[in-house]
Amino acid sequence: MTSPDLPAELKAALDAKLKGFSRNDAAERSASISKTYRDGGGSGAIRSETDALAYALARMPATYAAVTASLNALGEIRPDFAPTSLLDIGAGPGTASWAAAEAFSSLHDFTLLDANDALRKLALELVGDSFRLRSVKYQRGEARSLLVKAQAADLVIASYMIGEIGAAELDALAELMWEKTSNTLLVVEPGTPAGYARIIALRERLIAAGAHVAAPCPHDGKCPLAAPDWCHFTQRLQRSRAHKQVKGAELPYEDEKFAYVALTRAPVAARPSRVLAQPDLSKVEVTARLCTPTGLTLARISRRAKADYAIARRWRWGDAVVDGS
């Protein structure tokens, strides 16, 4: 399992970049960019070098943690997956490329696409001293037009990106992302009902185009969750001093809620159930809400079933589990 915390090389590059910048300025820009996001805006508000750095300090640790958690889940289902090429769509400061490089030592061909010049510049500075990433290809422009010309990659990732695309355009973008996926497509979104809805719509569309779900779902059928429920997960990450200052936060950690889907060309062999919320652990039993290959279930694993209980008491929200209850 890859750690959800930023790799030392990236932390050092961010810290070096922060020297010479006022943390107060970065905090102000970060608050204003966050407000734009909360009000439904996108990355258009990120225009200057300070904006890009403020965004990276405030959001990169959390989006990195969410992508890493999703890649860990994928790796658990497909331990032999060893991609050599990556397409990072809406790459921003390069978050998903860093996460994928950590998760897969096999990756050596990285292509990043984004329309935002300030984020692209920052991404290229951050990878400047990285042995694995310094030779990335980073193309600037509209995702769709760049994708048409792009070569297919083993692994394609769109992290916290599709929410910035209009509904009409998203269908076309989804098809194009799939066309350029030679093995696996991972889409990660905020763990909100709206983020989940986008993931589910894309999932349905691409299953109809022949995709199979590797994670989190143990099936390719319709999602069995109904509103007000939505499928999402959470990943805890540590906050650095700079991260706390820019966010004006006290706690040394943050919990990032995210939704994701990993779609593959070939069906996966293993289809374990997925834990949909933090299980309840009592002296009598473990109660866990699971999505199974045949639908939702509330699994109750009695303490009397000693071996099963010993396993189930270690279950965590988001885990892939074999339900023997």
Ligand X SMILES: C[S@@+](CC[C@H](N)C(=O)[O-])C[C@H]1O[C@@H](n2cnc3c(N)ncnc32)[C@H](O)[C@@H]1O
Q: Which is nearer to ligand X, 104 or 138 (CB)?
A: 138
Question: Is there binding between residue 13 and ligand X (CB under 6 A)?
Answer: no
Which amino acid makes up residue 208? A
Distance CA 237, CA 50 (A): 24
Nearest approach in angstroms of CB 161 to ligand X is: 4
Per CB under 6 A, the list member of 142, 193, 209, 294 interacting with ligand X is: 142
Q: Which is nearer to ligand X, 2 or 325 (CB)?
A: 2
Of residues 85 through 124, those in contact with ligand X by CB under 6 A are 90-93, 95-96, 114-116, 119
Question: Is there binding between residue 161 and ligand X (CB under 6 A)?
Answer: yes
Per CB under 6 A, the list member of 143, 185, 231, 246 interacting with ligand X is: 143
Per CB under 6 A, the list member of 164, 204, 220, 229 interacting with ligand X is: 164
Residue with tokens 């497909």: 78
Which are the contacts of 234, defined by CB distance < 8 A and separation ≥ 6?
Answer: 191, 255, 256, 257, 258, 317, 318
Nearest approach in angstroms of CB 190 to ligand X is: 9
Give the x-and-dash track for 57-76 against ligand X (CB under 6 A): ---x--x-------------
> Which of 224, 226, 235 lies closest to 190, judged by CA?
235
Alpha-helix residue ranges (DSSP H) falling in 264-322: 306-312
CA distances from 34 to 22, 31, 37, 44, 49 (A): 18, 5, 5, 12, 16
- Number of residues engaging ligand X in binding (CB under 6 A): 20
Nearest approach in angstroms of CB 95 to ligand X is: 3
Residue with tokens 């590797």: 214
Residue with tokens 């996966």: 268
Of residues 24 through 53, those in contact with ligand X by CB under 6 A are 43
Distance CA 13, CA 95 (A): 13
Nearest approach in angstroms of CB 169 to ligand X is: 7
Question: Is there binding between residue 258 and ligand X (CB under 6 A)?
Answer: no
Distance CA 50, CA 30 (A): 9
Residues of the shown chain interacting with ligand X in the complex, contacts defined by CB under 6 A? 43, 60, 63, 90-93, 95-96, 114-116, 119, 142-143, 159-161, 164-165
